[in-house]
Amino acid sequence: MAAQGISTLLLPRTYIGSATLEVKRSVFLAEIARVDDEAAAREVIAVARKTHAGARHHCSAFVVSVEDAQPIERSSDDGEPAGTGGMPILAALHGSGLVDVVCVVTRWFGGVKLGAGPLARAYGDAAGAALAAAPRVERVVLPRWRVHVSYSRLGRLVDDLTARGLSVEPEYGAEASLLVAAQSEVDVSALVASLTQGEGLVEGAGTVAVESEAREHA
């Protein structure tokens, strides 16, 4: 798990986006998706290759986060001159600030050679256009607490904590409890004591990754 308070930008989990660019009759179709691991990224690339089997090239890049390590980054020129396909796409991913993301740019050759510089720009621009149009979510690792409270207070406490911007997940069992995630500067114990007249019992419950709409896209 990442360090507490560190935020990460991602695509929404179900989002699949695309953008099309035409340069001297060559068509570049950029497709992006969120992925959880390298295998999932390679599956997206394989699907694009199968879906657009008539295209000449399927250049790609992905950035996948790894717990307590540097992200895995890969790129492929897929037959284009070295450095003109995968690397510009990877540079666009870096520029977006996203992780856990894959981009495949499929090219249909239009009969006119572009040259290395224009070709690299076309791949990067197509990827950049798809990324620029995509919504973001922000993932933050927060400390989490388990709050034990009577069933008679549970519903009201959920409402009160949620209204204060805390992430709340009720647990229903023989005894009532709920999992609460909040920024580390929030004194959850004092807050719960105030809202329950001292009845609620708070204990640490590790950390949790919480996702919400990224602030710059809100």
pLDDT in tens, 76-118: 999 999 999 999 999 999 999 999 999 999 999 988 889 999 9
In Å, what is the CA distance from 154 to each residue of 163, 180, 199? 14, 12, 11
Considering only residues 215 and 126, tell me which one the structure prediction assigns the higher pLDDT.
126
Q: What is the CATH T-level fold of the domain 138-217, as seen in this structure?
A: Alpha-Beta Plaits (3.30.70)
* Structural element, H or E, at residue 167: strand 167-171
Q: Contact at 8 Å (CB) between 65 and 71? A: yes
Predicted local distance difference test score (pLDDT) of residue 64: 95
| 215 — pLDDT class (breaks 50, 70, 90) | low
The DSSP 8-state label assigned to residue 149 in this structure reads -
Q: What's the rounded Cα separation, in Å, for the pair 168 and 217?
A: 24
pLDDT in tens, 167-208: 898 888 778 899 998 887 889 999 999 999 888 899 998 888
Q: What's the rounded Cα separation, in Å, for the pair 136 and 24?
A: 32
Question: What average pLDDT is seen over the chain?
Answer: 89
138-217: same fold as 9-135? no
| 120 — pLDDT class (breaks 50, 70, 90) | very high
| CATH classification number, 9-135, choose in 1.10.3720.10, 3.30.2320.50, 3.30.230.30, 3.40.50.300 | 3.30.230.30
Predicted local distance difference test score (pLDDT) of residue 26: 93
Question: What residues contact residue 142 under an 8 Å CB cut-off, 6+ apart?
Answer: 4, 5, 167, 181, 182, 183, 184, 207, 208, 209, 210
pLDDT at 2 over 80: no
Sign of CA dihedral 46, 52, 58, 62: negative
pTM for this structure?
Answer: 0.76
Q: What's the rounded Cα separation, in Å, for the pair 180 and 166?
A: 7
| Domain boundaries along the sequence of the chain | 9-135, 138-217
Question: What residues contact residue 67 under an 8 Å CB cut-off, 6+ apart?
Answer: 1, 2
pLDDT in tens, 3-27: 544 668 888 888 899 999 999 999 9
pLDDT at 1 over 70: no
Predicted local distance difference test score (pLDDT) of residue 216: 58
Q: CA neighbours within 13 Å on the CB side: how many for 130?
A: 30
Tokens of 118: 């224009």
Please give the backbone phi and psi of residue 45, each rounded to the nearest 5 degrees, phi first: -65, -45
Predicted local distance difference test score (pLDDT) of residue 218: 42
Please give the backbone phi and psi of residue 66, each rounded to the nearest 5 degrees, phi first: -130, 130
Q: Average pLDDT of 55-65? A: 95
